[in-house]
Amino acid sequence: MTANQNELLSALVDGELKGEELQQALQLLSTNDIARVQFQRHQLISDALHGHVTKSRTVDLTQRIADALLDEPALALPTKDKASVIPFPTQFWKQASGLALAASVGALAVIGVMNQSQNQLTPTNVNALASVESIPTAAPVRVAQAGDRWTVGEPEVEDRLNTYLVNHNEYAGASNVFSYARVVSYDAGQ
């Protein structure tokens, strides 16, 4: 072993190596037994100066531990890519897309019904406003009731809405995805 290599090991004891020199020292320790002994000697002096020595001065546990760890698999940190991605089952995507389709159709139906209702309500509102002018005490209640609720007096509209709701409930109940969405209804009487 050269004096330079020995000096490198002394600096390693002090934790003063980095980069290329650190690689060099570690390589030396893993391949050269004399280097290991020398490193231990440097370390022993440092330990002795700090009062860390024991009765058995020349402790070397490396071989014992290496033997004990012989059957241990080499460690490898899990890669983040594998850990962070949790694949959804294919069935989930099928159910989700079906549900999204049903929801879209339902929303379109509701918008259609609302538009239709508003068109139907327009004359009612005008009449109501007329009544407000003539009978100020009773009219505001009637106007509010008419504006807050869908008007499903038309049998055609009611049938269509019922069909959508039944389909929605059946799908939501069967899919097991959004079981809480089963209870959907309306009361035409309110």
Q: Which residues of this protein are in contact with another protein, per CB under 8 A?
A: 6-7, 10-18, 22, 26, 29-30, 36, 39-57, 59-62, 64-66, 68-69, 72, 74-77
Q: Cβ of residue 182: shortest distance to another protein, in angstroms?
A: 45
Cβ within 8 Å of residue 164, ≥6 positions away: 105, 106, 109
Q: How far is the CB of 86 from another protein (least distance, A)?
A: 21
Q: Is 9 exposed, middle or buried (0-12, 13-18, 19+ CB in 10 A)?
A: buried
Q: Which one, 58 or 137, has the nearer CB to another protein?
A: 58
**Shortest CB 111 distance to another protein, Å:** 54
CA dist 134 and 93 (Å) reads 59
Minimum CB separation from another protein for residue 34, in Å? 13
CB closer to another protein, 10 vs 175: 10
**Which phi and psi angles does 17 have, rounded to 5°?**
-105, 150
Nearer Cβ to another protein, position 22 or 146?
22
Burial class (CB in 10 A: 0-12, 13-18, 19+), 5: middle
Q: Would you say 43 or 127 has its CB closer to another protein?
A: 43
